């Protein structure tokens, strides 16, 4: 049937473009459509089905499955090298044996971490696929290999009588991860690595199962060939494979001499993590096949090829101890101290365990043997515990400390959050710098000129350890800092002085109490009216503030109950930090309560932040995005897409003049 033949030819050609040239000609949907048409034709006329029709990849003919196959030409293994010196020795010996006067040309190829296979094509048709086995005899995996779409069932071009193509079957990383994700969701056992997953897929008794696994193949050598002359060089051999429709590595490259090999190795090692599949090194092959023949073999290892391995990315080691580190924001991070192990090109002796949930989920204990992975420059991680190696006695669970290892303040682990936190705030050495940065920031006490660099210096030189000490700085103490002129010092002192006049909401926000943002600070200030009243309240009383739940209330009460925090607050006030008490308002009585505002564009008479702050102080909610719940959109110059959206939703609009009028009329004279 002509149409069926044409479809098969078309599908094979599309496959070639997709897998060998890595340059798809049509979208997947078009391929699927042609395949569908061919299936329909073959279903209607079963007599026209050919064994090498692309519909017959899963033939179900598992009869010969795993029978032994004796390789006509033995399948080689490669000698490994782990250092530049070993590569240099290899190159030197090759040059000596060949009595070479010039540098040798090598073909350098990525060393794929999969399973070596040999595929026999007779008159262009795939007749057998076998694993390497012991090199002399392998297993027949024809039915399974046929299901791999990058394996052509029929060779392109004028194929010789017999052509054995050799390469590597592997599972790309994306497919491996997707497969493991699915297995995890079903609660099934995970594959340890892509190589194991590929081996498992190739050994399936049912080719239908193999067909569902994301296997691919890349060819790099030939076995027995009859009816064709082979080219003189490995580089040309790869070109011949491609010409026949067999996929080769796009990374393979001809290089000159030892220097060329090592340069290729270094460049590929740097890109290792970007490749879509796992490689465990580089293979160098002497390019001229006549030279290969002269050099011959030692046992089954050729003297003309060498595998230059990358450092292993996974190793076993033991967890000796677990310590908790306190981060800039008070988060406690468990860090495992390991028996030092060389992995991924570096010695790893510490690795973060992220949080307690992670530890509990993976049942990690001190004394356990674990698999440590370090891939490229990625931070080392623990992949899994080797439970088989867990000693019967001598391991113990990892426990979260009740008190901060840095400052001794209580540690809290909030329900629903993975992180455990130190409650020490700025009394904790680990959190000092971050606390000071926050205290001085624009929305807090707005102390101009106190950037990250300056604060870092102040803390490191021991000049400032809590916010109140900022106000003890003098021209003299500042003068000792890097790049600090008299003028800058004077400016900083002026900024400090200016910051002393603040508001209660800003002051509360500046303290850096966990979960107390600007809106909560404002709500607290409005509810209690003065700091004294807030400090006298217990958690239950604080929870009466609108929108303050039990977690925030507890966090505020605990912060303000701490003697260290109280001392700092008293000292700040003694330095002259002050604000006017504000009138206590039940939120519902606030003039703009229940209204939601969005402010967009540039306002002429005040900043957007200032407008938002004024609106909030009048009880309004301020949101960043327009929705059907928005009461008013305030728009300045260049309002952008929010204005269009508000208009579309029928939200009321306010220009700057209308906003100022609203603010004026909502603000009572005594405020």
State which residue, 302 or 529, has the beta carbon closest to ligand 9MJ.
302
Q: With binding defined as CB under 6 A, does residue 557 bind ligand 9MJ?
A: no
Terminal C-alpha separation, the chain: 92
Tell me which stretch binds ligand 9MJ (CB under 6 A): 46-54, 106-114, 203-211, 419-427.
106-114
Give phi and psi for 97, each to the nearest 5. -65, -35
The C-alpha atoms of residue 596 and residue 501 are separated, in whole angstroms, by 30
State which residue, 288 or 526, has the beta carbon closest to ligand 9MJ.
288
A 10 A CB-CB count for 461 gives: 12
Q: With binding defined as CB under 6 A, does residue 291 bind ligand 9MJ?
A: no
CA gyration radius, the chain: 36
Tell me which stretch binds ligand 9MJ (CB under 6 A): 105-113, 253-261, 596-604, 618-626.
105-113
The C-alpha atoms of residue 40 and residue 356 are separated, in whole angstroms, by 56
Out of 78, 215, 531, 592, the residue judged to bind ligand 9MJ by CB under 6 A? 78
Out of 151, 305, 322, 454, the residue judged to bind ligand 9MJ by CB under 6 A? 305
Helical ranges in 192-301 per DSSP H: 194-202, 207-212, 234-243, 257-270, 289-295
* Contact present, 269 and 310 (Cβ < 8 Å): yes
The distance of closest approach from Cβ of residue 292 to ligand 9MJ in the complex, given in angstroms and rounded to an integer, is: 10
The partner residues of 411 in beta bridges, in order of sequence, read 422
The C-alpha atoms of residue 531 and residue 534 are separated, in whole angstroms, by 5
For residue 332 the two structure tokens come to 């406690």
The C-alpha atoms of residue 636 and residue 612 are separated, in whole angstroms, by 13
The distance of closest approach from Cβ of residue 117 to ligand 9MJ in the complex, given in angstroms and rounded to an integer, is: 11
State which residue, 163 or 509, has the beta carbon closest to ligand 9MJ.
163
Out of 105, 139, 168, 613, the residue judged to bind ligand 9MJ by CB under 6 A? 168
Contacting ligand 9MJ within 110-139 (CB under 6 A)? 111-112
The distance of closest approach from Cβ of residue 168 to ligand 9MJ in the complex, given in angstroms and rounded to an integer, is: 5
Give the three-class secondary structure for 300.
coil
State which residue, 115 or 568, has the beta carbon closest to ligand 9MJ.
115
Binding string, 382-421, against ligand 9MJ, x = CB under 6 A?
----------------------------------------
Give the three-class secondary structure for 462.
coil
The distance of closest approach from Cβ of residue 258 to ligand 9MJ in the complex, given in angstroms and rounded to an integer, is: 19
Q: With binding defined as CB under 6 A, does residue 109 bind ligand 9MJ?
A: yes
Out of 14, 225, 283, 643, the residue judged to bind ligand 9MJ by CB under 6 A? 283
Q: Which residue is nearest to ligand 9MJ (CB)?
A: 112
For residue 31 the two structure tokens come to 């391929």
The distance of closest approach from Cβ of residue 516 to ligand 9MJ in the complex, given in angstroms and rounded to an integer, is: 58
Residue 447, sorted as left (phi over 0), alpha (psi -120 to 50) or beta, turns out to be beta
The distance of closest approach from Cβ of residue 76 to ligand 9MJ in the complex, given in angstroms and rounded to an integer, is: 4
CA angle 519, 524, 527 (to 5 degrees): 120
The distance of closest approach from Cβ of residue 75 to ligand 9MJ in the complex, given in angstroms and rounded to an integer, is: 7
Tell me which stretch binds ligand 9MJ (CB under 6 A): 29-37, 108-116, 226-234, 412-420.
108-116
Contacting ligand 9MJ within 179-238 (CB under 6 A)? 220-221
CA angle 493, 499, 500 (to 5 degrees): 100
State which residue, 300 or 533, has the beta carbon closest to ligand 9MJ.
300
Strands 396-397 and 596-600, bridge-based pairing: unpaired
* Contact present, 176 and 197 (Cβ < 8 Å): yes
Encode burial over 12-24: b for 16+ CB neighbours within 10 A, e otherwise.
Answer: bebbbebbbeeee
A 10 A CB-CB count for 622 gives: 21
State which residue, 220 or 426, has the beta carbon closest to ligand 9MJ.
220
Out of 4, 11, 12, 76, the residue judged to bind ligand 9MJ by CB under 6 A? 76
Encode burial over 572-602: b for 16+ CB neighbours within 10 A, e otherwise.
Answer: beebebebeebeebeeeebbbeebbbbbbbe
Tell me which stretch binds ligand 9MJ (CB under 6 A): 104-112, 315-323, 608-616, 663-671.
104-112
Lookup result for tokens 């293994």? 77
**Residues in contact with ligand 9MJ, total (CB under 6 A)?**
10
A 10 A CB-CB count for 102 gives: 8
* Catalytic annotation, residues: 111
State which residue, 264 or 324, has the beta carbon closest to ligand 9MJ.
264
The distance of closest approach from Cβ of residue 131 to ligand 9MJ in the complex, given in angstroms and rounded to an integer, is: 13
Give the three-class secondary structure for 24.
coil
Tell me which stretch binds ligand 9MJ (CB under 6 A): 11-19, 107-115, 488-496, 591-599.
107-115
Nearest Cα residue to 291 out of 62, 105, 517, 564: 105
Residue 237 to residues 228, 255, 360, 409, Cα–Cα distance (Å): 12, 16, 54, 70
The distance of closest approach from Cβ of residue 116 to ligand 9MJ in the complex, given in angstroms and rounded to an integer, is: 6
The distance of closest approach from Cβ of residue 87 to ligand 9MJ in the complex, given in angstroms and rounded to an integer, is: 16
The C-alpha atoms of residue 480 and residue 41 are separated, in whole angstroms, by 88
State which residue, 117 or 262, has the beta carbon closest to ligand 9MJ.
117
Lookup result for tokens 């069926």? 4
State which residue, 76 or 455, has the beta carbon closest to ligand 9MJ.
76
Tell me which stretch binds ligand 9MJ (CB under 6 A): 109-117, 196-204, 552-560, 578-586.
109-117
CA 277 to chain centre: 16
The distance of closest approach from Cβ of residue 212 to ligand 9MJ in the complex, given in angstroms and rounded to an integer, is: 25
Half-sphere exposure of 380 (CA within 13 A, CB side): 28
State which residue, 80 or 666, has the beta carbon closest to ligand 9MJ.
80
Write out the residues near ligand 9MJ by the rule CB under 6 A.
Answer: 76, 78, 109, 111-112, 168, 220-221, 283, 305
């Amino acid at each position: 049937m002509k149409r069926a033949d044409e479809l098969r030819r078309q599908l094979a050609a599309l496959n070639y473009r997709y897998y060998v040239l890595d340059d798809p000609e049509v979208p997947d949907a078009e391929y699927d459509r042609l395949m569908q048409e061919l299936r329909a034709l073959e279903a209607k006329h079963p007599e026209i089905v050919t064994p090498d029709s692309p519909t017959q990849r899963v033939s179900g003919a598992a009869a010969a499955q795993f029978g032994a196959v004796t390789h006509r030409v033995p399948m080689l293994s490669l000698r490994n090298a782990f250092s530049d010196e070993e590569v240099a020795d290899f190159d030197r010996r090759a040059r000596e044996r060949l009595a070479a006067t010039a540098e040798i040309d090598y073909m350098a190829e990525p060393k794929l971490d999969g399973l070596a296979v040999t595929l026999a094509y007779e008159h262009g048709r795939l007749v057998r696929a076998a694993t390497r086995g012991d090199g002399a005899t392998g297993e027949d995996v024809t039915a399974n290999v046929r299901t791999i779409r990058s394996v052509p069932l029929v060779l392109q071009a004028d194929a010789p009588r017999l052509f054995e193509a050799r390469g590597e079957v592997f599972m790309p990383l994306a497919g491996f991860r997707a497969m493991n994700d699915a297995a995890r969701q079903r609660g099934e056992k995970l594959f340890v690595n892509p190589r194991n997953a590929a081996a498992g897929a190739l050994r399936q008794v049912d080719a239908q199962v193999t067909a569902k696994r994301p296997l691919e193949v890349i060819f790099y050598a030939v076995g027995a060939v009859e009816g064709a002359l082979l080219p003189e060089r490995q580089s040309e051999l790869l070109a011949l494979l491609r010409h026949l429709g067999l996929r080769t590595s796009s990374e393979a490259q001809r290089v000159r001499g030892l220097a060329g090999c090592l340069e290729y190795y270094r460049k590929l090692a740097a890109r290792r993590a970007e490749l879509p599949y796992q490689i465990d090194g580089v293979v160098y092959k002497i390019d001229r096949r006549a030279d290969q023949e002269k050099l011959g073999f030692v046992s089954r290892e050729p003297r003309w090829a060498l595998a230059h391995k990358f450092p292993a990315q996974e190793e076993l080691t033991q967890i000796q101890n677990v310590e908790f580190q306190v981060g800039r924001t008070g988060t406690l991070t468990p860090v495992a101290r390991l028996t030092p192990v060389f992995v991924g090109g570096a010695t790893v002796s510490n690795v973060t365990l992220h949080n307690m949930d992670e530890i509990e989920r993976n049942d990690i204990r001190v004394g356990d043997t674990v698999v440590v992975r370090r891939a490229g420059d990625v931070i080392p991680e623990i992949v899994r515990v080797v439970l088989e190696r867990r000693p019967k006695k001598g391991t113990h669970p990892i426990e979260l400390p009740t008190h901060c290892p840095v400052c001794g303040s209580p540690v809290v682990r909030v329900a629903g959050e993975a992180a455990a936190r130190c409650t020490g705030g700025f009394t904790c050495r680990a959190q000092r710098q971050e606390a000071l940065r926050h205290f001085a920031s624009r929305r807090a006490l707005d102390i101009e000129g106190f950037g990250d660099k300056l604060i870092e210096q102040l803390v490191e030189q021991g000049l400032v350890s809590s916010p109140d000490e900022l106000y003890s700085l003098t021209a003299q103490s500042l003068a000792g800092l890097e790049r600090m002129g008299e003028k800058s010092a004077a400016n900083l002192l002026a900024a400090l002085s200016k910051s002393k006049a603040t508001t209660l909401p800003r002051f509360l926000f500046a303290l850096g109490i966990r979960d107390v943002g600007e809106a909560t600070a404002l709500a607290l200030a409005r509810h209690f009216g003065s700091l004294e009243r807030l400090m006298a309240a217990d958690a239950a009383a604080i929870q009466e503030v609108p929108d303050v739940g039990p977690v925030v209330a507890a966090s505020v009460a605990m912060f303000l109950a701490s003697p260290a925090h109280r001392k700092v607050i008293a000292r700040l006030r003694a330095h002259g930090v002050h604000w006017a008490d504000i009138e206590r308002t039940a939120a519902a009585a606030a003039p703009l309560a229940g209204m939601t505002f969005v402010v967009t564009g540039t306002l002429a008479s005040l900043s957007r932040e200032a407008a938002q702050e004024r609106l909030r102080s009048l009880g309004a909610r301020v949101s960043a995005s327009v929705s059907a719940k928005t009461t008013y959109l305030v728009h300045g110059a260049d309002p952008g897409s929010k204005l269009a959206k508000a208009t579309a939703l029928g939200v009321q609009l306010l220009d700057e003049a209308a906003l100022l009028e609203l603010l004026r009329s909502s603000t009572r004279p005594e405020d």
